[in-house]
Structure 1
Amino acid sequence: MNQSFILNQLAEDRENYFHAVAPPIIQTSNFAYPTVDEFKFAIENEKDEHIYTRGNNPTVKMLCQKMAALEGSEDCLMVGSGAAAISNAVISQVNAGEHIVSVKNPYTWANHLMTKILPRFNVQATFVDGTDVENFIKACKPETKLIYLESPNSWTFELQDLGQIAAFAKSRGITTVIDNSYCTALCQRPIDFGIDLVIYSATKYYNGHSDVVAGAICGSKEKITQIFHNEFMTFGNILAPQNAWLMLRSLRTLPIRLKQSSETTLKVLDYLRNSDKIERIWYPFSEENPQIELAKRQMKMPMGMFTIALKNRNISTIKKFCESLQNFLIAVSWGGHESLIMPKCAFVEANDPQVSMLRFYIGLEEASTILEDLDKNLAIL
C-alpha cells in the first residue's frame, strides 16, 4: 500500500458520502439502531461498530485507519493529546509492583507520569542514558515490564538503537513503547524495528497547522484492543470528530510540508555552522553528531528541528535576540506552518549551564526569509 494511496484514498468510502471528495464530519455523540438485535451486536463489538462517540466515530475511525497504515501497524487509536497517548500506552502495560526502564530526560509529561503519578500506585521507573543499549539491559529487573523510548528526544536529539532494544525486550517479554513525534512514520517507522507501541503528539507534524491538539497510539490489534476496552474507554481521552476531520485534511499535504521544512532546515544549519556566534549545534543529521550513522540507518530523512548553544550567555542579550526575530514565534511545540524558537532561559536559572540553548523549528517560510532574519539579528549577539 503506497503512501499516496493511504493519504488520499484509504478508508475514504466516498460512495457512502454522496461521492464527496472531502470526507464528512460525523458530528454526533450518539448512534441509533432500528432493531434490538442490531443494537446488541454493536454494543458487543464497540471497538469496530458505533455506539457512542466517546468510543468510536466514523470520522475518527477513518483517521485511525490512515495513521495505522502509515505506521505499518495493525491498528491505531486517536486520543485528545500527546500526553493522553503517553498515559494510555504506558499505564496499559504495567501493574502495581512492576518496573519501567525509560530513556533519561523524556518529554515533560512522560517524566511526570513516571516520577509523580505511577509511584503512587507502586510502579517505579529507572532512567538511563539511551545512547548505549547496555544501559537498558543492566537497568532491567525481573519485574520490568516496559521500556520507554524517545528517539530522538526533543532538545538534544539523542537516539536509541531501536532494533537492538526491541530484540532484547522481546527476549525478556518486555513491552517497548516509543514517542516518535520528532520523526513521523514518513521519517522513521519503529514498528519495522520491532517496537510494540508507537505514540505521537499528532498536534505536531501530522496536523501541521497549529489548530488541533491530538495524540495517536499505534500497535498490534491485540494491544490496541486491550487499551480501547480499558484505559481509552475509562479515561475518556477522545479526539473530537471536528479535530479528526482537520487532521484528515492535514495528512494530504504531509509529505510536501515535511520536504519543505527539512530542506530549509539544512540550508539554515549550513549558515549557522559558519557563524562565530554559535558554540554548538544539536541535530541528528549533523556531521558532528556521534550517532549520525545510527540516524541515517533508522531515519529516512532530516527533519525540521534543532538546538543551538550561543557563545553569549547574557540572558538580556539572549532575550533581545529571540524577541527581535521577525519570522520566529517564541513558543513551545513544533511541526506547524510557522517557524518557532524556544529559549532554554525561560525554563532554567541564570547560572544554569544550559541557559544559552535555543531550540529552533523551521516552518514553511521561504529559506531566504529565514536566513535574512537570522543574519540580521545574530549581530545582536
Structure 2
Amino acid sequence: MDLSNILYAYAEDRSQYFNAIAPPIMQTSNFAFRKVEDMSRAFEDEMSGYLYSRGINPTVDILRKKLAALDGAEDALVFNSGAAAIFASVLANVKSGYHILSVDNPYTWAKKMFDIILPRFGVKTTYIDGRSVENFRDAIRPNTALIYLESPNSWDYAMQDLEGLAALVKSINATRASESPSDKPSPQIITICDNSYCTPLYLQPARLGIDISLQSATKYIGGHSDVVAGVISGSHAMMKKIFDSEYLNIGSGIQPFNAWLLIRGLRTLPMRLQQISATTRTVIEFLKGHPKVEELLFPLDPSFPQFELARKQLSGACGLLTIVYRTEERAEIVRFCESLKHIMLAVSWGGHESLVIPRCAGIKPEHFDATIREHRMVRLYIGLETADYLIEDLRQAFT
C-alpha cells in the first residue's frame, strides 16, 4: 500500500463525519444499540464493533488500521504507553513454567517485568548478547516460549539479525509441532521486537518474520512530545488473542484524544524523519572530529560495529546517537550537559526538540568509574532544529 495513502486516506471515511478533513475525536465512553441482537454480538466479540471505549473506539480504530498498514502487518493494538504494550504482549504469551529469552539490558520496564513480576508466577528470563543468532540457538530451552528483542536498542544500538533469528525460530517451532504429544509439550516460540528506534518507515520486523512488532508511539509517531502511547502489530489472530485478554482486562487502551494526536503526528512523519536524519548526519561529522569524543555510536555510520547488518536491515536511523565522552571525571560530563543552552536535559526522543541524557544520571556519583565505557556515555537526540544551531550549542558546551 502506498505510504501517502496510509498516512492521508486509509481507514478514513469522511462521508461518515460530515466530510471533515480531520477525523473527529469520538470522546465517548459507550455506544448505543437499536436491537438487543446487535448488543449480543458486541458482547460476544468486542473487537468486531463498538461497545465500550475501553476496547474499540472509532478514532482509535482509524489509528490502529494505519499503524498496522505502516508495519506491513494484519492488525494492530494501541496502548496508553509503550510499557503497557510490552506488558500485555509478553503476558499474553507466557504461563507458569515457561522461559523467556531476552537481549541484554532491555528497556527498564521490560526488565522489571522479567526480573520482578513474572518470577512471582514461575516464569524465568535469561539475558544474552543478541548480536549473534548462535547465542539464541545455544540458549533456547525446551520450555522457551518467548524471545524478546530490541533492534537497535536505545543506548549502544546493538542489533539482532531479525531475518536469521526468525528462520531459526520457525525451524524450532516446526520441530516442536511434529514431536509426539507428551505431558509437557514444548510451547511454540513467539518473537517480539521493540522497533521504537526506527519506526515502521525504516524497519518492519513483521516483514522479516517477527511475530509482534512493538514501539513507543510517544516517540516519532507522536512527534510533538505531547502524548504517551505504545503500539503492537502482528497477525490478526495474535492481536485478537491479546485484545480479548490482557488489553481488555488491564484496561490499558489509548484514549480517543491521544489517538487523534497520533493521527495528527502521522501526517508529518516522513518529512520529520527526513529532516531529523539529514541534520543528524551533519552533527555526527562535527562530533567525530571533536577531541572530547572518544567514540561515536550510530547504526548507519561506517564505524559502527554492526554497520553491515544495519545497512542490510535498516533503511534509515533517525536522530538518536551516543558519544563516549573522553574524561576521567563525572563532573566534566555533568558540566557539559548542564552547559547546553538549547539541547534540553530530558528522557525520551522523537519530538521536535533536541535532547541529551548522560548515562551517569542513573549511576550514583560514588559508583561512577571512568574505566567503564558505559559510564561515560552521553546520548543525544537530534530534533527539528537546524544543524548549525545545534552544533554551536554543542561547541560552547564542550568548551
TM-score, with normalisation over the residues of structure 2?
Answer: 0.94
Query: Which residue, out of 210, 213, 235, partners 1:198?
Result: 213
Instruction: Give the Å deviation of 1:302.
Output: 2.5
For the pair 1:372 / 2:377, whether they are aligned, the reply is: no
C-alpha offsets along residues 331-356 of structure 1, whole Å, 9 cap, x if unaligned? 11000100000011111132262332
Instruction: Give the Å deviation of 1:37.
Output: 1.4
Q: Which amino acid aligns with 1:17?
A: Y
Q: Which amino acid aligns with 1:82?
A: G
Residue equivalent to 2:182: none
Q: Distance between the aligned counterparts of 1:199 and 1:48, measured in 2?
A: 23
Which 10-residue stretch deviates more, 190-199 or 307-316?
307-316
Residue equivalent to 1:71: 71
Q: Distance between the aligned counterparts of 2:375 and 2:309, measured in 1?
A: 29
Residue equivalent to 2:322: 307
For the pair 1:85 / 2:97, whether they are aligned, the reply is: no
Q: What pairs with 1:276-295 in structure 2 (closer than 5 Å)?
A: 276-295=291-310
Q: Distance between the aligned counterparts of 1:305 and 1:45, measured in 2?
A: 41
TM-score, with normalisation over the residues of structure 1?
Answer: 0.98
Given that residues 260 and 364 in structure 1 are in contact (C-alpha distance below 8 angstroms), is that contact kept between their aligned partners in structure 2? yes
Instruction: Give the Å deviation of 1:18.
Output: 0.1
Secondary structure class of the residue paired with 1:200: strand
Q: Which amino acid aligns with 2:129?
A: D
Q: Distance between the aligned counterparts of 1:37 and 1:356, measured in 2?
A: 64
Show structure 1 runs of 5+ residues with no match.
none
Which 10-residue stretch deviates more, 271-280 or 34-43?
34-43
Residue equivalent to 2:20: 20
Residue equivalent to 1:335: 350
Q: Distance between the aligned counterparts of 1:313 and 1:202, measured in 2?
A: 37
Instruction: Give the Å deviation of 1:90.
Output: 0.7
Instruction: Give the Å deviation of 1:182.
Output: 0.3
Q: What pairs with 1:37-76 in structure 2 (closer than 5 Å)?
A: 37-76=37-76
Residue equivalent to 1:318: 333
For the pair 1:181 / 2:181, whether they are aligned, the reply is: no
Residue equivalent to 1:103: 103
Given that residues 197 and 317 in structure 2 are in contact (C-alpha distance below 8 angstroms), is that contact kept between their aligned partners in structure 1? no
Secondary structure class of the residue paired with 1:27: coil
Secondary structure class of the residue paired with 2:199: coil
Residue equivalent to 1:5: 5
Residue equivalent to 2:369: 351
Instruction: Give the Å deviation of 1:374.
Output: 1.1
Q: Which amino acid aligns with 1:350?
A: F
Q: Distance between the aligned counterparts of 2:115 and 2:334, measured in 1?
A: 32
Which 10-residue stretch deviates more, 104-113 or 169-178?
169-178
Given that residues 313 and 355 in structure 1 are in contact (C-alpha distance below 8 angstroms), is that contact kept between their aligned partners in structure 2? no
Query: RMSD across aligned C-alpha pairs, in angstroms?
Result: 0.9
Given that residues 86 and 214 in structure 2 are in contact (C-alpha distance below 8 angstroms), is that contact kept between their aligned partners in structure 1? yes
Q: Which amino acid aligns with 2:24?
A: P
Q: Which amino acid aligns with 1:167?
A: A
Which 10-residue stretch deviates more, 315-324 or 215-224?
315-324
Q: What pairs with 1:211-226 in structure 2 (closer than 5 Å)?
A: 211-226=226-241
Q: Percent identity?
A: 49
Q: Distance between the aligned counterparts of 1:59 and 1:234, measured in 2?
A: 21
Instruction: Give the Å deviation of 1:12.
Output: 1.1
Secondary structure class of the residue paired with 2:221: helix
